[in-house]
Structure 1
Amino acid sequence: MPHIDQLSAQLDRLAAFEPGPFPFISLYLNLQADDRGRDRFEPFLRKELADRVRTYSSSAPERESLHKDAEKIRAYIDGVERSMNGLALFACSGADVFEPVPLAAPIDEHRLYISDEPHLYPLARLLDEYPRYLALLADTSSARIFVFAANTLEKRHHIQGTKTKHHKQGGWSQARYQRHVENFHAQHAKEVAEHVARIVRNEAITKVILSGDDAVLPLLREHLPKDVAGRVVDVVRLDTHAPEHDILRSTIAALKEKDAATDRERVEALLGSYRASGLACVGLEDTMKAFERGQVDELLVTATPDGLNVGAGRPIREGGAA
């Protein structure tokens, strides 16, 4: 499975493609099996490809190019790994392009686009929804660090500190022992925080999720550098020994919840400015005018414009706001 850097490089390469005379196929498939373990994409692929190809004249070079694309696509999919959750595939035989993009991240629904250039928005959106992030699971004697991206594990690290035991003696001996334990815990948290900071800075990771008990979390927050602490987006409750698939599932859910909350806040702020006749506009026409005047600092695009009301019961029918 390609890492997110490879996926980003493929996206950039495809985005640089110049439109030409031959049709360009952009195919997105959900490869997850149904409740009975059966693939759901083959009927879609068989019907949609044939229907689209038939729209071209039988003698046209465009149709010949599409026929070659269809054959290569079917041959590739026959050998595709069933462990993948999704597949994006871009093909144009006339331009000698065939770019399969296997994905661990799921694709919600099958899509087929035929145009003069690649249709990249679904892939770009997927990479945005499944960014590279760091997850840290820690207690006062150990830590597990994971780097996830595009819904798959990229790296893992383990740090083992000094294990301490309960001391039953009382008086000054107990107090000295307690300080001794606290020093071990603080040193462990410092080592973990430094390790996390190196990874985050070296790999330009912008999102960090923590998991730990009440003893270690305050120590971690104390020792994390400010620039790294500012990237902590959530704290979740996970067993320190949780399996990787549970960690991935829980942290992805936390990321999506935080992203949704942030998106709501940004939309509400923009609509509040619009309602107050401030520096904001909504709708395609007004947004395009703002672009033409060079007045757009931030653009929000909604995938479901009918669900966004701007006041007086009036929904935005064109999904742009700036």
Structure 2
Amino acid sequence: MVPMSGAPVLESDQVSDSGTWFRVEVTSAASAVRRAAERLAAQLNLGEQRTADLAIVAAELASNLVKHADEGLLLLRPVRADEQAGVELIAIDTGPGMIDMDRSATDGHSTAGTLGIGLGAIVRQASWFDAHSVPNRGTTLAVQIWPETPPKPFWAAGVNRPLAGEAVSGDGFASRIRDGRHQVLLCDGLGHGPLAAAATAAALNAFRAAPTAPPAEVVEHLHRSIRHTRGAALAVAELDVPAAVVRFAGLGNIAGAVLEGEDRRGMVSLPGIAGHQRRTVREYQYPLRPGSTVVMHSDGVTDRWRPADYPGLLGRAPVLLAATVLRDAGIRRDDACVLAARAPT
């Protein structure tokens, strides 16, 4: 098991499907989560023992949300790295939170009114586990189950969800490492529903297959590649640690920022619709200091959040930052997606 900590670099591409969200407020929802997890494990050929471990994790997570959390949600999705596929569960809630996350994950520890009960069992079964909690604000917890030795935790991760009432999200994300270039993409397909999702899927596929190049050239490639779709707002960021810069190029309403401590420095995306309308794509550079994190999100997420409101969150895995921002700043009347990336130090 990998202990609760920040995320070192995974030296390969990350491909993560959108998965399924569950509102977990009653016992029957907990049973539904467990059954869905077992079905996903079968589809991924996770193996009998790891499927049983996953069932325990899913049941404990969902049960804790029902018993001890407010407005509990759980995301179940496949995750892939190299030639291996696993299952990830992300649980979020809006309270009551935990004062000592590490102690709450110890077997036998229980604090009335918190999510601490059952975390010991989750930690034992998990291939990888990380969590963050703020009292009276809520908890975000991520667990991965892999069939064999887990990959290194992802250096970049995102979370998306569809507009209320839609089955699929038109927002998506991807990451890649090419010749030492650590690049991430966030895409918001025009509109909502299946056609928006198709535009984003085309952009993500084009990004993974794009030639190794700086972000502006990658954006140009994406613009040409998705002309057959309704188009999208999208942005590409490259975290260049040796040069101590972030290179950023975008078209449309994609927000990007560099987080350093309590500071948040915004990045510029130009007006346009990839695949249809664009001005000359411009690439901007911003300082990237050791330990800084890049966050990108679609316009289904507001800017009304501050790093200072989440003590210790920037030291946790990127997926926790993405899920926490989505929880607190996501807009239910729009598709929403948040991506967080931290390049190696």
Q: In which range does the TM-score fall when normalised by the shorter chain?
A: under 0.3
User: Normalized per residue, which structure has more strand?
Assistant: 2
User: Normalized per residue, which structure has more helix?
Assistant: 1
TM norm structure 2: 0.24
TM norm structure 1: 0.26
Higher relative contact order (CA 8 A, sep 6+): 2
